[in-house]
Amino acid sequence: MDKNIINNLLCWKRKKLKKACLFLHPDKPYFFISGTVFEEFLKNFKSCKSYRDSISIISSKYEVPKKVVRDDISKVIERVGYLDIMKGKDIISFSDNEKIDGLFLHLTSRCNLTCPHCYRGKPGKKTELSSKIIDNAINELSQIKGSTLVLSGGEPLLYNGFKGILENAAGRIKNVKVLSNGTLIDEKIAHLIADTGAFIQVSLDGASERTNDEVRGKGSYKKVMKGLERLRKAGAIKRCNLSFTIMKHNAGEIEKIIEITESFGIPSVRFLVLRKEGCAVNNWEKIGSGITTEEYEEVFKKLFYLGGNNNGKVSIEGGLSGFNVSFSNEEAMNPLLCPVGNSPAVDLDGKVYPCVLLMQEEFLMGDLRKDTLKDICKRQEVSKIRTKCAERKKRVNKCRACTWNNFCQSACAGLAYECHDTIWETDNFCGVRKKLYDHVFNEMVDRASGSRK
């Protein structure tokens, strides 16, 4: 019996579930679920420091042969050892040469829609990112072997020369994604997406003409439907995903949006919470004040259920920051799950910020009118912001002792700043996430119990 594993597990956090016990790594988003007997075993071992005595106590209490108890305990310890999740403490630091792996380019502030919840707000005097900055950014990103480029707006399809930009980028960057409202997708654009192998995200905020057009404008729903059909005919539909912002008026249409996604053959749909940013600030009473955190909680519970019960036909992504339960081993070993800093956002002036949610002057990383991406990395701007964000789970008062802090990691720094004017807070969905984590892990136990019957 490996006593090192047992002693290590004594440091893990524990959370009682309805029918089991959840064990959580003290520093990493690792976990395993076991019966309450194993929890009793650890308590006994901690007090008496004897493996045999701990087994004997449980055997007497439940009138079960020692061999049965010993075998059950051994299986759990063997499983935990096999998972190779005991290694490494949480070291919140990043190398000085932390690199930029992606860019989020705002090509234009122009848009053919006037959505009241647009995070970009109304166009200012500067409406376009210069083609020189765009070309240089693509060249540099390719040279440093960056893997991702996002083209956004406004509506990026309105940018003069969009076709050339997409063709240039797609030929040099592994993953290129266009964020569009979907109303301007004609046959040429559909074939451009297909031919370049780019991805396209299309926003749709209602499963019906009435619901969508209430916020996106009259006629927008039909135009999006036609655009999606053109993508399908061009053979690009598998490189598309839908994006749905949850609001009071459309929260009841989750299932219908998933049905629309499936009917077109679109592989995934993403559900986002409404942000009080940009145009939404002045329109909050109309679009945002009605939905409560309790309603958001029910929506995300439903999304978790639907995600596990749709036979994998559609990937359902719940865009609630800090709600994470599935990680690769590589992700779990990273001090910060969020790509903040690694995939910075570029505004219309060429200024570089850690992400689209931290585009305030105090977070400025550089300026592509005078800096190269290598310059920004050399100044350690990437590692600085990533170290700060990774420290949040230890420094934010609410988060320091929270059961879920290694999963949530204090949630999105940008949303926290939006709510409190500081990144040293969490956002306003903390209570929702805690209830969702409880719900999801209890559901995991129920599903596992059901599969064994």
**Which is it for strands 148-152 and 102-106: parallel, antiparallel or unpaired?**
parallel
Instruction: Output the CA torsion 324→328→330→335 (10° steps).
Output: 10
pLDDT in the model for residue 56: 94
pLDDT digits (tens, 9 = 90+) for 413-437: 999 999 999 999 999 899 999 999 9
Q: Is the pLDDT of residue 124 over 80?
A: no
Token duo for residue 138: 């693509």
Q: How far is CA 302 from CA 113, 255, 292, in A?
A: 30, 9, 16
Highest mean pLDDT range out of 186-200, 280-294, 328-342, 406-420?
A: 186-200
| Residue 27 to residue 129: CA distance in whole angstroms | 42
- Distance CA(325)–CA(271), nearest Å, equals 17
pLDDT at 453: 46
Residues in the chain: 453
Q: What are the tens digits of pLDDT across the range 373-387?
A: 999 999 999 999 999
Q: Which of 386, 388, 378 is nearest to 422 (CA)?
A: 388
Helices (H), 289-402: 293-308, 329-333, 373-378, 381-395, 397-400
Per-residue pLDDT of 231-271, as tens digits, reads: 999 999 999 999 999 998 899 999 999 999 999 999 999 99
Q: Which of 234, 202, 236, 235 is nearest to 220 (CA)?
A: 202
| Whole-angstrom distance, CA of residue 128 vs CA of residue 125 | 9
Number of H helices, E strands in the chain: 20, 13
Identify whether the C-beta of residue 69 lies closer than 8 Å to the C-beta of residue 63: no
Q: Is the dihedral of CA 292, 293, 295, 296 positive or negative?
A: positive
Look at residue 391 and give its three-state secondary structure.
helix
**Nearby residues of 340 by Cβ (< 8 Å), 6 or more positions away:** 354, 355, 358, 385, 386, 389, 413, 414
- Contact in structure between 156 and 101 (CB atoms under 8 Å): no
| Rounded-to-integer distance, Cα 168 and Cα 246, Å | 35
Distance of CA 425 to the CA centre of its chain: 18
Rounded to whole angstroms, how far apart are CA atoms 417 and 432?
18
pLDDT, one tens digit per residue, over 86-120 is 555 555 567 667 899 999 999 999 999 999 988 87
Q: How far is CA 24 from CA 31, 82, 294, in A?
A: 5, 16, 26
The model's confidence at residue 448, banded by pLDDT at 50, 70 and 90, is low
Peptide bond into 319 cis (omega under 30): no
DSSP secondary structure of 109-170:
S--S---TT-TT-S--S--B--HHHHHHHHHHHHHTT--EEEEESS-GGGSTTHHHHHHHHH
* Residue 188 near residue 233, CB atoms below 8 Å: no
- Measure the CA dihedral 259/265/267/273, to 10°: -40
β-strands 175-180, 315-319 pairing: unpaired
Percent of the chain with pLDDT over 70: 90
Q: What is the pLDDT of residues 300-326, one digit of tens each?
A: 888 888 877 766 789 998 878 898 876
User: For 62, what's the count of Cα atoms within 13 Å in the CB-facing half-sphere?
Assistant: 16
* Cα separation, 32 vs 400, whole angstroms: 21
Predicted model pTM? 0.90
